[in-house]
Structure 1
Amino acid sequence: MKKNVLIVGAGGVAQVVAHKCAQNNDVLGDIHIASRTVEKCEAIIRSVHEKGAMKVDGVIEAHALDATDVAATTALIERTKSQIVINVGSAFINMPVMSACIATGAAYIDTAIHEEPDKVCETPPWYGNYEWKRREECEKAGVTAVLGAGFDPGVVNAYAALAREEYLDRIDEIDIIDVNAGSHGCYFATNFDPEINFREFTGQVWSWQNGEWTSNTMFERGKEWDLPVVGRQQTYLTGHDEIHSLSQTMNVPNVGFWMGFGERYITVFTVLKNLGLLSEKPVTTAEGQEVVPLKVVKAVLPDPASLAPDYTGKTCIGDLVKGEKDGQAREVFIYNIADHADAYREVGSQGISYTAGVPPVAAAMLIANGTWDVGRMVNVEELPPRPFLSLLADIGLTTWVREGEEDREIYGRTAGA
């Protein structure tokens, strides 16, 4: 059994994580939140208390931390006696935070692949560039490291594992579909860190087709889907984290990720990119100041956390899985629907943050009770999906399946949860 959680990061996702840890602190124990800007951590703690989220009396504290400093992170883990670290900071800090967990024996959970600030869209599979190189190190230390435990990656990986275990004898294709049919009321904004958001789309779009890596450009391949609740939605083939593990762990010849984009997003993105304003490379202004264009764009856009109060509408995220069962062709869509307004009422965040923040808490609870405390590095699809999806339903995210014309809830909130 493991107890006491250190949350690294203080953005919109961290706020959800903190609320959900507080709602389950009888299982998770003390809660510590750390970021460079301690005031952001303190604001999250105030929101937890304002919502009365603490299930039982307990510790919830804020800490100033530069998470790129391995020694400082190691010392904080030891000082707070944290046995589980949930890393929802920038993807740039994955490796140093993981190092601190290996040094202390704390379990490690993140929600995205590590990135280096000066590199965009590296050679696939992306996990092979950083995280997977440390598998032996984690196993030797007996450290549980659950990679990509957000929604996508994360829950969609569990959906793929569920399809493999319960719906199909052979999987030929996995299409992950992510549509935000909500509206934040701003002319233009991103739903999470603009720097990370734009970096996903400025390089090559990698997908796994016919058992090999295939490269496209952003918005080159589009497809319209008729989805539950949100209806017909236009999406585009996009590079994304989960492709880089599912392609290697599932023995499936085709894996793609499709994300919904509106016309305005595409127009603004295209203009910014063509002007060079999405570059991560420094430039020098006429006044002799060195700036990174992407960081300037990030500075002038709305803080994603600020979008929550006025956000309306729903998200639909899931896996369309095709293959064969008992010698017959079969196709299932396993998915979740989340509501922005519901998320704001519960935890003060919008639905994108909610879907990303609830899953790592479920993962932490499964590590705490031993179910997922495997003592090595794993991606979510390598772990049992049923306990994860069942627990997710109890703490806020239900799972549905569409087959043919029928939609049915397969993991819903149990009585009293």
Structure 2
Amino acid sequence: MKRNVLIIGAGGVAHVVAHKCAQNNALLGNIHIASRTLAKCQAIIDSIEDKGSMQQPGQLKAHALDAMDVEATKFLIRATRSQIVINVGSPFLNMSVLAACIDTGAAYLDTAIHEDPAKVCETPPWYANYEWKRREACKDARVTAVLGVGFDPGVVNAYARYAVDHCFDQVESIDIIDINAGSHGRYFATNFDPEINFREFTSTVWSWEDNAWKANAMFEHRKEWDLPVVGKSAAYLTGHDELHSMSQTLGVPNIRFWMGFGEHYINVFNVLKNLGLLSEKPVRTARGQEVVPLEVVKAVLPDPASLAPNYTGKTCIGDLIKGTRNGQAREVLLYNVCDHEACYREVGSQAISYTAGVPAVAAAMLIADGTWDIGEMANVEELDPLPFIQLMNGMGLPTRIRDAAGDRLLDPEREVGFSREQRKTASAR
């Protein structure tokens, strides 16, 4: 069993991760939060104490850390005796934190693909450019590294694996649909780090079509989806982290990602992009100062965490899977609906941060109890989805299934007839 968690990052997702770790510290042990700004870590700790989130008395401590410094990160992992590291800082940190985990033997989790500050929308499969190059190192060190274990990527990968294994004989297509039907009341804001948000959409976006990569322009393909609770919503075909692994691991010929955008967001985005304000390349001002336009835009936009108190409405994120079962065409929607206001009441966050943070803690718990402690690197769809889905059902992110039999809570034990306890016993034999 692994215990003691080091959380790297102090943004909105880290806030949720810390609260959820605190709610489960009987299993996870001591909790440490580290980022470059100690005050942000302490603010999260204050929030946990204000909410009374600790399951039982335990250590909860803030640390200052530049996680780009591998040696400093290794020192902190050892000093805190952390056996699980949840990296929810900037994706620019992934490879440094992963290196520190490999050298110290700590399990590694993240919620997004690694990014090079000088590159956007990299050539697929993107994971092969960075993380997958350390597969052998993880295996040799017997280090468990679970990549992309937020909601998308993360939960949607598990949904895909569940569908492939239990709902179909053959899957023809997976459409991942992410709709935020909430309102934060600001003129313009992003729901997570503005720099990372914009970098996803400023160049080529990739989809997986007929077993090959297809290049698209942002906002080139629009489709209206009718989803539970949030209703009819327009979404646009875009690239996303999970496509880069699922295309290589599931054997499904068509995998696409659709994200909902309002017309106001699109208009502002296009103005910023056309003015060059979303560029990641440095420019020199008239006063001789070198600045990165995208970093300036990030600096003037609201902190995503600040949106939480006034956020209303719900999100709906899921996989619409089509294929055949017993020779008959079949369609299944696996999805979650999350309420912004409920998230704020529970942990003081909005639903976007909540849906990304809860799965990372569920994964940490599965590593802690041995279920997912595999001693090598894996993307989420390479792991058993049943205990993951079952655990999240009780942690605030219940999964629902809509198919020909109706719309219901997805209870893996009932649907598949094999409980988490049975699976753990079987895997130990």
Indicate the TM-score class for this superposition, using the shorter chain for normalisation.
over 0.9
Q: Give the structure 2 partner of residue 58 of structure 1.
A: 58
Q: Give the structure 2 partner of residue 376 of structure 1.
A: 376
> How big is the shift at 1:413?
13
Q: Give the structure 2 partner of residue 29 of structure 1.
A: 29
- CA–CA distance in 2 between the matches of 1:413 and 1:48? 32
Amino acid at match of 1:325: R
1:5 matched to 2:5 = yes
Q: Give the structure 1 partner of residue 159 of structure 2.
A: 159
Give the 3-state SS of the residue equivalent to 2:57 in structure 1.
coil
- Conserved 8 A contact 1:180-1:315: yes
- CA–CA distance in 1 between the matches of 2:404 and 2:101? 45
Q: Give the structure 1 partner of residue 99 of structure 2.
A: 99
Consecutive unaligned residues in structure 2, runs of 5 or more = 415-429
- Conserved 8 A contact 2:386-2:412: no
1:190 matched to 2:190 = yes
- CA–CA distance in 2 between the matches of 1:205 and 1:295? 21
- CA–CA distance in 1 between the matches of 2:122 and 2:230? 33
- Conserved 8 A contact 1:69-1:96: yes
Q: How many residues align?
A: 414
- CA–CA distance in 2 between the matches of 1:17 and 1:259? 24
- CA–CA distance in 2 between the matches of 1:33 and 1:272? 34
Q: Deviations over 1:354-377 (max 9, x none)?
A: 000000000000000000000000
Give the 3-state SS of the residue equivalent to 1:176 in structure 2.
strand
Q: Deviations over 1:245-281 (max 9, x none)?
A: 0000000100000000000000000000000000000
- Conserved 8 A contact 2:239-2:257: yes
- CA–CA distance in 1 between the matches of 2:385 and 2:197? 28
- CA–CA distance in 1 between the matches of 2:331 and 2:377? 31
TM-align CA RMSD? 1.2
- Conserved 8 A contact 1:394-1:413: no
Amino acid at match of 2:48: V
1:216 matched to 2:216 = yes
Q: Give the structure 1 partner of residue 421 of structure 2.
A: none
Give the 3-state SS of the residue equivalent to 1:281 in structure 2.
coil
1:353 matched to 2:361 = no
- Divergent runs of 4+, >6 A: none
Amino acid at match of 1:288: G
- Conserved 8 A contact 1:393-1:412: no
- The 3 A distance-change label for structure 1 pair 412 and 312 is farther
Amino acid at match of 2:63: H
> How big is the shift at 1:170?
0.5
- CA–CA distance in 2 between the matches of 1:255 and 1:165? 16
Q: Give the structure 1 partner of residue 119 of structure 2.
A: 119
1:251 matched to 2:251 = yes
- CA–CA distance in 2 between the matches of 1:379 and 1:183? 32
> How big is the shift at 1:396?
1.0
- CA–CA distance in 1 between the matches of 2:112 and 2:380? 12
- CA–CA distance in 1 between the matches of 2:332 and 2:244? 22
Q: Give the structure 1 partner of residue 425 of structure 2.
A: none
Q: TM-score, normalised by structure 2?
A: 0.96
Amino acid at match of 2:363: A
Amino acid at match of 2:44: I
- CA–CA distance in 2 between the matches of 1:280 and 1:381? 31
* 1:57-76 equivalences in 2 (<5 Å): 57-76=57-76
Q: Give the structure 2 partner of residue 225 of structure 1.
A: 225
- CA–CA distance in 2 between the matches of 1:131 and 1:155? 19
Give the 3-state SS of the residue equivalent to 2:214 in structure 1.
strand
Consecutive unaligned residues in structure 1, runs of 5 or more = none
Q: TM-score, normalised by structure 1?
A: 0.98
Q: Deviations over 1:154-192 (max 9, x none)?
A: 000000011011111111100000000000000100000
Amino acid at match of 1:291: V
- CA–CA distance in 1 between the matches of 2:113 and 2:203? 15
